[in-house]
Amino acid sequence: MSTTLDRNTAVVARNTALNVESRINHAAVVASLKKGIWIYFILLIIEGGLRKWIFPSLATPLLIVRDPVAIWLLVTAWRNGYLPSNNHFYAMVFIGSCALFTAILVGHHSLPVAAYGARILLFHFPLIFLIGKVFDKNDVLRLGTIVLWMSIPMFLLIAMQFYSPQSAFVNKGIGAESQGGGFSGALGYFRPPGTFSFTTGNTQFFSLVGVFVVYFWLNIEQVNRILLIGATIAFIAAIPISISRGLLIQTVLTGAFALASISRTPKLLGRMLGAGIGLIIIVALLSNLPFFKNAIEVLTSRFDTAKESEGTLDNTIVNRIGASILEPFVNSELPFFGFGIGMGTNAGARLLIGRSDVFLIAEGEWGRMIGEMGAIFGIGAILIRMQLVLKMLIQAYKRLKINNMLPWLMVSVSFQAVAQGQWAQPTALGFGVIMGGLTIAAMRLPEQEQQYQRYQEQQALLQQEQQEQLQQQKQQAQPTAGV
């Protein structure tokens, strides 16, 4: 009898030790993957600075500085059973693998160009799901707090770039180029790129800042108020300084998403009114500063110039989307498998013809994908990205019912970045991955919140059952009363 008890005790102790060890390994793997995601994000922010100011001679290799991190994340996730498993992931990997071989066999026949193009679908796209699987809402809020801290020095940098000549060090271009890194703006001013290789990075960064500024104003107890005010000033001032129509439109869109959330969470109305008053005060104060007035004039001129050359904003959007799809068909006879994946990127153009300032296929993202991979694979990849963002949109809207508006605000920036972001450009690719991953991660509540949510659901179900029982008792009592 004693021997049996000792044996059972030993089995229980061994199983307990294995469970503890399993939990420790699980926590270590998750912590390691989270560090890798943070490294990916930090490299995204500083990548352009490395190429412009620190290692200009390595500007070309640094184009793929985040690729080793992406590969390490996927390999580590695969070894430990964390590799994403869904139809979007498998379908995109299949298309990317097929496109890699068709580009080499019947396309442009260049392995480096094909590998550069295929890495977008094989290494970076899956990270959207891995971030969503490893991160949760608290991790997204931590990253959002860091983004707020980053916004202040980033604004100071783009203000220096805005008011400095293109020959200044802060406006240095990529590599050893002598001309500046700014892009044509209006009234003699150039669009500043910040720490990024191109101005689109600056636009996407402050679009992300806008999401967290709005969220924290509506949840002000979750952030340092002084930091929030400073980041809000930096964000609002950055809109005209950036000379970016895209940033202004994205800001309006994020605000519209915030207002739309009232339909599901009416109690936010009071906070929104308070946040709106605060934003009006900040804008009024900034309007008295000469640098802000001047930037507003430049941005207004930029809109007027674009209207003359491209038509109204609505026409511009429609034309860009339509031309993005039709361009590879109109400009040339499109082969069945396309011209080869990677050919539509700037790096691919440099490898193939020695120039990176031309678009060999199409400037728009959808046109590039169809031109590179052919109608079937190209449209298939587009549909996968569209289906993913539509699913994120629906799921984010559902989260408003449980008072989680973070994914809803995140999808206001991730929708375009994932669906039609120009992933041929490394910075746009990085922001598409980060924004998409954070949107999914924001839907995952931490364990304590999950337990509280389950408790609330159980209480609601219990109340519903009690009401049904009372209703049944009343119905049963009615015939007796009638007799």
pLDDT, tens digit, 9 for 90 and up, residues 106-165: 989 999 999 999 999 999 999 999 999 999 999 999 999 999 999 999 999 999 999 888
CB atoms within 10 A of CB 375: 16
Mean pLDDT of the chain: 84
Residues 36-47, mean pLDDT to the nearest whole number: 96
According to the model, what pLDDT value does residue 391 have? 96
Rounded alpha-carbon distances, angstroms, from residue 240 to 21, 145, 254, 280, 291:
54, 23, 17, 16, 10
According to the model, what pLDDT value does residue 483 have? 39
Percent of residues, the chain, with pLDDT higher than 90:
51
> For residue range 335-376, what is the model confidence (pLDDT) as tens digits?
889 999 999 888 888 888 887 777 788 888 998 999 999 999
Of 451, 388, 396, 449, which Cα lies nearest the Cα of 419?
388
CA-based end-to-end distance of the chain: 68
Write out 225-255 in H/E/C secondary structure. HHHHHHHHHHHHHHHHHCCCHHHHHHHHHHH
60 three-class SS: coil
Task: Say if CB 295 and CB 241 are below 8 A apart.
Answer: yes
Percent of residues, the chain, with pLDDT higher than 70:
80
Q: 4 pLDDT exceeds 60? A: no
Residues 407-420, mean pLDDT to the nearest whole number: 95
Give the Cα separation of 62 and 80 in Å (integer): 29
According to the model, what pLDDT value does residue 327 have? 60
User: Of the ranges 187-196, 300-309, 323-332, 431-440, which one carries the lowest mean pLDDT score?
Assistant: 323-332
Q: What is the pTM of this model?
A: 0.85
DSSP H or E run through 299: helix 290-310
